[in-house]
Amino acid sequence: MPSIEQALKTAKQELINAGQTDSPQLDAELLLLEVIKKQRSFLFTWPEKLLSDSDLDCFRKLLEKRLQGLPIAHILGYREFWGLKLKVTEDTLIPRPDTETLVEAVVNLSISKQARILDLGTGTGAIALALKSELPQAEISAVDFSEQALKVAKENSKKLKLDINLKHSNWFSAVDQQKFDCIVSNPPYIEDNDPHLKCGDVKFEPLSALTSGSDGLKDIRMIIKQAWNFLQANGWLAIEHGYNQAEAIQQIFLHNNYKNIKLYSDYGENPRVTVAQKSTEEFNHG
């Protein structure tokens, strides 16, 4: 029977050889921890501990799924985001660390603790639930076009005991005519023909939650235009986008008469989130 250290070393090398992940050591550790039901510190404290035959068999089965390219989040059934353990399925995007930049940007805005916030395209509920954990007095609503995704978001909301209002809606189509202090979204922003759609975890995720027209900006243009009618005077709109879209999105905001446009970079120092404020000037948004 191999030790923890030996099992991880072998698994790491197999993952490197398979070329399916950028984090072979972490992936191997997460899969083993799922089997032995321990904290990560256990791996470093007891590297010489031998694995039982049953644990090794379970580990090998999970590892085989990862070697075939299945995302870690789908194998484990969850993903950590903003310190929250979120259920993840094939019907939702896998919450990514870059999106924490969006949560951080909103938390740092000058909005009331009792603010009304709307999350468009909530998926697992990651953004809305993270914001609720930081702003417990805020009234947070979240919508998604996918009924399956909404089911996952409701489960996460209940399990985490974070109360958010969830509704089935194609962007603003079923949102009541009310005004929000902040609207936030991680919409589809990948170009329809982007070759990266066939690589890594992305190929296992719902395409409708990833792509948005030939330039990746179709949904963002619509959100920026329509959000105007759902924002309070001086309300904020915060949008996650591709690393190469910041300039184009700034122009869309300006074209729609937003002000105080700010850009935030993600943990990899890539331009990732743009926030802008609704101007108090009269402007016809149709």
Q: Output the pTM of the full model.
A: 0.89
pLDDT tops 70 at residue 66: yes
Query: Looking at residue 197, what is its pLDDT?
Result: 47
pLDDT tops 90 at residue 86: yes
Element (H, E) at 79: strand 78-81
Query: Looking at residue 198, what is its pLDDT?
Result: 55
d(CA 100, CA 90): 21
**pLDDT tens figures, 94-141:** 999 999 999 999 999 989 999 999 999 999 999 999 999 999 999 999
pLDDT tops 60 at residue 196: no
Residue-wise burial string across 188-226, b where 16 or more C-beta atoms lie within 10 A, e elsewhere: bbbbeeeeebeeebbeebbeebbbbeeebbbbbbebbeb
Query: Looking at residue 212, what is its pLDDT?
Result: 45
Element (H, E) at 205: none
- Model confidence at 155, pLDDT cuts 50, 70, 90, reads very high
pLDDT tops 70 at residue 81: yes
Query: Looking at residue 283, what is its pLDDT?
Result: 57
- Model confidence at 1, pLDDT cuts 50, 70, 90, reads confident
**pLDDT tens figures, 173-195:** 999 888 999 999 999 766 556 45
- Compute the average pLDDT of residues 278-282: 76
* Contacting residues for 146 by C-beta, under 8 A, at least 6 apart: 91, 92, 123, 206, 208, 209
Query: Looking at residue 275, what is its pLDDT?
Result: 98
pLDDT tops 70 at residue 243: yes
Q: Domains in the chain, please, with CATH?
A: 4-70 (1.10.8.10), 93-278 (3.40.50.150)
Place of tokens 């321990």: 38
Query: Looking at residue 168, what is its pLDDT?
Result: 97
* Helix, coil or strand: residue 22: coil
